[in-house]
Structure 1
Amino acid sequence: MNRLVIIGASGHGKVIADIAVKCGYKDIVFLDDNENVKECAGFLVKGTTADIKEYQKWDFIVAIGDAVVRENIYKNLEKHSYKIVSLIHPDAVISRRVNIGKGTVVMAGAVINSDTTIGKGCIVNTGASVDHDGVVEDFVHISVGAHVAGTVHIGLRTWIGAGAIILNNLNVCTDCMVGAGAVVIKNLDQPGTYIGVPAKQLVKE
């Protein structure tokens, strides 16, 4: 059909729109629940998520950074059998032995190496890398310039901050937030926020 609906008219949505154009989409519209937003990346914002039903025959991708919101919208699309697509920038480097779930976006300069599984609704952002034999569960965001070494398992909805590093053979549990520039040298077994070098859990007082 060559028609795409991007849900989320933000900076992230702009980047996804550029990738969509490079992937051959001609007709692109945005939906966003902020009714004051009328345009994004040169494309019209045609309505809110309440208008999804008007685009039943279009392809969809969710361009929202917040993992919980992204997951909820994704599951609503999935429930109603809308066509959710993945978008991969042509300048990403991806092994022939990688599985990528629906609704995932891989940005320019990203590298994903052999025998790695990327779940659905994930973001592998600009210049990020995921090395061999990794598992990245659904709705994870690996931010700009973050690097995940070999044989790492990252749990559902986890966010790896810009420039963070995850050393090899580690597990990062569900619902973690690894701060920008942090270096993870041991398993992260409890949900929470981890910062620093080496990364330690941020404890709220």
Structure 2
Amino acid sequence: MRKLAIIGASGYGKVVADIARRNGYKEIVFLDDDDSIHECGGYPVIGKSTESGMIDADVIIGIGNAGVRKQIQESIPDEKLVTLIHPDAVVAEDVVVGKGSVVMAGAVINPGVRIGKGCIINTCSSVDHDCEVGDYVHIAVGSHLCGTVSVGDGTWIGAGATVSNNVSICSACMIGAGAVVVKNIVEAGSYVGLPAKKIK
């Protein structure tokens, strides 16, 4: 019997649980450090995040915050971590998706793409050919990376944002919802608008 422990009993965790079920997991449990939470999406919360190493199960992080996701994931042995891809995502055969990453329903990832570990490729987003996506990146709902885009570690591409072809974005950036990135971003920070500009 396949068993999965999801760390983080939240809305995002519910989506991860649904993808896990569709990938054949028969037993799904949650771990969360909030003692007041006893279930999530109909699945039981059975302990705290620190207990993942003691459970005989695969493990994935269901937490949206990249910093927290990284901290927890890097404390878990690689052999316990899994990658989840929704059956209704379109992922080219040569795409590489790192451990602990989740690809959600309706996402499209085209040939030549490399996705790092602990990433979220959210609902109906797209990552076009030959993109390089770093670790712990979140490509939010309905956002799009055009071809040959590079995104640094820990960056958040907001809902509905677009990144033009051949653009690089450094690590630790937040691209606002609906923003359009048309040139390289070399300084960490928050960027909004059309074209995207840094805000203080």
Following superposition, the deviation at residue 82 of structure 1 comes to 4.8
Which residue is equivalent to 2:165?
168
**Structure 2 spans left out of the alignment, 5+ residues:** none
Gaps of 5+ in 1: none
Q: Which amino acid aligns with 1:151?
A: T
Question: What is the CA–CA distance in structure 2 between the aligned matches of 1:112 and 1:53, rounded to whole Å?
Answer: 32
- Tell me the distance in 1 between the aligned counterparts of 2:47 and 2:79: 17
Q: Whole-Å Cα distance in 1 between the matches of residues 8 and 140 of structure 2?
A: 18
Q: Secondary structure at the match of 1:76?
A: coil
Q: Does 1:179 align with 2:176?
A: yes
Contact preservation (8 Å) 1:60, 1:82: no
Cα distance in 1 between the residues matched to 2:177 and 2:148: 21
Q: 1:15 is aligned with what amino acid?
A: V
Aligned counterparts, 1:74-93, within 5 A: 74-78=73-77, 82-93=79-90
- Letter of the aligned partner of 1:171 in structure 2? S
Counterpart CA distance in 1 for 2:53 and 2:184 is 43
The root-mean-square deviation of aligned C-alpha atoms, in Å, is 0.9
Quote the residue 1:49 is aligned against. Answer: 49
Post-superposition CA distance 1:54-113 (Å, at most 9, x none): 20x3100001111010000000003xx551000000000001110111110000000000
SS at match of 1:34: coil
d(CA) in 1 for partners of 2:108 and 2:53?
35
Counting only pairs closer than 5 Å after superposition, residues 27-106 of structure 1 correspond to structure 2 as 27-55=27-55, 57-78=56-77, 82-106=79-103
1:23 is aligned to 23
Counterparts in 2 of 1:53 and 1:96: CA distance versus 1, 3 Å: closer
